[in-house]
Structure 1
């Protein structure tokens, strides 16, 4: 089975090289890595150019991560789809472990794993304590932790582009309503970087509003037609 990995990047110059390298450096490498630059104004494109033909680079005007991911998915050729955030890191055996589970359990459509949160080394000392996570390692039903069969991904439909911060939460709820079967490997598969630019930490009000909107949409979708 072919594996495609999608990374959406916006002004990710500081971290994108490490993220891409963690995907390319898997013990079982992916067949395709698509990085979509969401209208960056920093040196992201220059950094991506250093990987040459090892990755496919797409571009768009700044439209948000959900739009970027949907655009990249339209070009992906893999039977299995994985995602990495531009500031996070995959552990080296992520694909190896998740592929093995999918091969053993043919009825499983999506595999998740644990996420380890860490404060980025570039965070100033005086800011580190407020970013320190209450829980370091935990189960991760996150986009970057998931490897999913393309058919199951498509069954639930595209990511909701009206929810730029919480589109994956909304999609996962919809996918479960459509019968998504999932499993977890008991290993850390992603290291989630905590830094001063994390969208969820600097835009908490917007994220809370989107979460409520996503919940309302989910409740409405469950109601029988009148």
Structure 2
């Protein structure tokens, strides 16, 4: 069978959930895939437990660097023209790959697509809010405030991922938000409107629970966009508006906790963003990257 898609699962200390995720991939109705599991330095015995699968999939252990690095390494190893990501706490329906591969074949101009999903939180099904509902087409501006592409639902052209340099490994959170926005500048999102993914939330090791002040990573993503000459004037104005909003909200949280210098830094970004010359934006990106190495209080 022709290899059509490389499936990439990064994982860190999620041994039990990972095994369930792997089983959901191996149970797919199509065999036109390879599975690549990247262990991001787990300390819970993940590597030993994966030996039961033998050579069913490719496995590599790396030094703990975060999910962005794990996914990037997976794509480096990928051999197929398409890639699909699965978070180690999520599950696929048995027809997920088969149906999405058919969608991509039927839409050869589609660079990135996703399926619909079911949300489970603390073991119970919940309905996503209206702003989270998936949609197809030109969703760049809508995606500035809410990440509208779900990692475990995504399938994309491998060449596109590599051309954009993959996920930003400095970003310990919102790395998906960052990459999707860079893709959506030039590409519309395809949607297979079938709930073929189970998204499991509410557990203590979720990024949203373990990484404080996630908006600081979104601020970096938005500032980076302002260096991209592919932005139209209308889209640039939309990016500036959302960037200023997020900077002022984050700055307010910093100020309430006595971090006055940091608060002023983000207020300055909000003030300057509408009229930034390119050289100043580049300096701001570097400064924000440096600030990410500090461990903030919860904001």
Q: For the superposition of Structure 1 and Structure 2, which TM-score range results when normalised by the shorter chain?
A: 0.7 to 0.9
Structure 1 51/185 Cα, relative in aligned 2: closer, same or farther at 3 Å?
A: same
Higher helix residue share: 2
Offset, 1:225: 4.9
| Runs of 5+ unmatched residues, structure 1 | 122-127
1:180 maps to which residue? 187
Between Structure 1 and Structure 2, which shows a larger proportion of strand residues? 1
Please list, as runs of the form range in 1=range in 2, the aligned pairs for 1:22-171 lying within 5 A after superposition.
22-121=24-123, 133=126, 135=128, 138-139=133-134, 141-171=149-179
How many residues align? The count is: 216
Q: Is the 8 A contact 2:174 2:217 kept in 1?
A: yes
Question: Which secondary structure does the structure 1 equivalent of 2:104 belong to?
Answer: helix
SS in 2 for 1:148: strand
- Over alpha carbons, which structure has the higher Rg? 2
Distance, in Å, in 1 between the alignment partners of 2:55 and 2:154 is 25
Q: Which has the higher contact order (CA 8 A, sep 6+)?
A: 1
Please, what is the CA RMSD of the aligned residues? Answer: 2.2
TM-score by length of structure 1 reads 0.87
What is the TM-score normalised by the length of structure 2? 0.67
SS of match in other structure, 2:37: strand
What does residue 210 of structure 2 align with? 203
Query: What's the CA shift for 1:215?
Result: 1.4
Q: How far apart in 1 are the matches of 2:26 and 2:50?
A: 13
The CA deviation string for residues 154-190 of structure 1, in whole angstroms up to 9 with x for no partner, is 232221011121111101111122x224310110121
Equivalent residues of 1:81, 1:147 under 8 A apart: yes
Q: Take 1:17 and 1:26, find their aligned partners in 2: how far apart are those partners? A: 15
* CA shift for structure 1 position 42: 0.2
C-alpha contact 1:16 1:47 (8 A) present in aligned 2: no
Structure 1 residues 55-64 or 187-196, which shifts more? 187-196
- The Cα of 1:138 is off from its aligned counterpart by 4.1
Contact 1:84–1:144 under 8 Å retained in 2: yes
Q: Would the aligned equivalents of 2:204 and 2:210 in 1 still touch at CA under 8 Å? A: no
Counterpart CA distance in 2 for 1:6 and 1:58 is: 11
Structure 2 unmatched ranges of 5 or more:
135-147, 237-276, 280-299
- SS of match in other structure, 1:53: coil
Return 135-144 or 74-83, whichever deviates more. Answer: 135-144
Report the counterpart of residue 293 of structure 2 in structure 1. Answer: none
CA contact (8 A) 1:174 1:218 kept: yes
Q: 2:201 — aligned with what?
A: 194
Q: Deviations over 1:55-76 (max 9, x none)?
A: 1110111111111111111111
Distance 1:61 1:53 in 2: 22
Correspondence for 2:4: 2
What's the offset of the Cα at 1:204?
A: 5.6
- Distance, in Å, in 2 between the alignment partners of 1:110 and 1:75 is 20
